[in-house]
Amino acid sequence: MNQIVLPSNVVGRGSCTLSSTNSEQGKPAVAIMLPTYCEAGNIRSLIRKIKSLKPDSLIVVIDDSSHDGTASIARSLQKKHNNILVFTRPAKLGLGTAITDGFKLILSLEDPPDYIITMDADYSHNPLTIPELLATAEKGYDLVIGSRYKKGSRIIGWHIIRWLISRVANFIASTMVGMRIRDCTSGFRCYSKNYVREVIGHLHSQTYEIQIETVKQAWTRGFKVKEIPMTFENRKRGKSKLTIAEFQGFLSYILKTKLPVKKGH
């Protein structure tokens, strides 16, 4: 295993190992980032499924010191699969910082992939959508969003109240951004390396508002954005970790942040 030297501005430096270097295996086609907290029941099968779909991908697990051994399971898989990166942060620090830390970590590699996919590790995001996200990005899009509200999408297992909250939040966010984006809050995405390099110093979200902040940055900087339909299933295993307080903080971010509309769109 090779120790990765993290950038000095990565939060919560901890255990971080890569099973093989890019030079040994060739440049990965895509990095797939999995922010995790207590996903021991999912992480093994999810990684295996991703490897079966994209065997040349780099899988990056950003774990917030899960007490159920999630990171240990991921490290055990490094012995069987090439190109798995595991970064354990010292505490539960929030989805926003997990994603930005993951971006910094991937960009710090000698030859980082051209695309980075983010997805939940609880099976609410179907790994079978990964090839479509990547194929769409390769057509020239810098941010491809797996949308719950695009025509052809499905949502399974949501209570009507949660659906309404999500729709209202997304309507407000898309209106303020000035984009015709139906799902600004989806976490199943593909980013281009060029986009991430340009915006990484401008991302400051701590939790779920990172999803709107990255859309805002893409729009105001003129990057190409595309939504594709997906099936979203509300946690096949376990229960949702999205609390009322996090929803309130997320909505507060939307209402307080002035999102300028880019001229010419």
- Adjacent-strand bridge partners of 86: 17, 61
Q: Which amino acid is at 80?
A: K
Rounded to whole angstroms, the Cα distance separating 136 from 145 reads 10
DSSP state of 63: E
Q: Which residues contact 236 (CB under 8 A, 6 or more apart)?
A: 122, 123, 124
State pTM to two decimals: 0.85
Q: What is the pLDDT along the chain (265 residues), one digit of tens a residue?
A: 334 444 444 544 455 555 443 434 567 889 999 999 999 999 999 999 999 998 889 999 999 999 999 999 999 998 887 789 999 999 999 999 999 999 999 999 989 999 999 999 999 999 999 999 999 999 999 999 999 999 999 999 888 888 887 888 788 778 776 778 899 889 999 999 999 999 999 999 888 889 989 998 998 899 999 999 999 998 754 445 455 555 666 666 666 665 444 444 4
CB contact at 8 A, 117 and 58: no
Q: Which residues contact 55 (CB under 8 A, 6 or more apart)?
A: none
Rounded to whole angstroms, the Cα distance separating 48 from 65 reads 22
Q: Which amino acid is at 207?
A: T
Rounded to whole angstroms, the Cα distance separating 11 from 28 reads 25
What are the structure tokens assigned to 47, written together? Answer: 């990684």
For helices 43-53 and 130-137, the axis angle rounded to 10 degrees is 50
Residues of the chain with pLDDT > 90, as a percent, come to: 58
Q: Measure the N-to-C terminal CA separation of the chain; round to a whole number of Å.
A: 48
The three-point CA angle 175-176-177 to 5° equals 95
DSSP state of 74: H
Out of 3.40.640.10, 3.90.550.10, 3.90.1640.30, 3.90.1300.10, select the CATH number for domain 2-256.
Answer: 3.90.550.10
Q: Which amino acid is at 34?
A: L
Q: Over the stretch 209-227, which tens digit does the pLDDT of each residue have?
A: 899 899 989 988 999 999 9
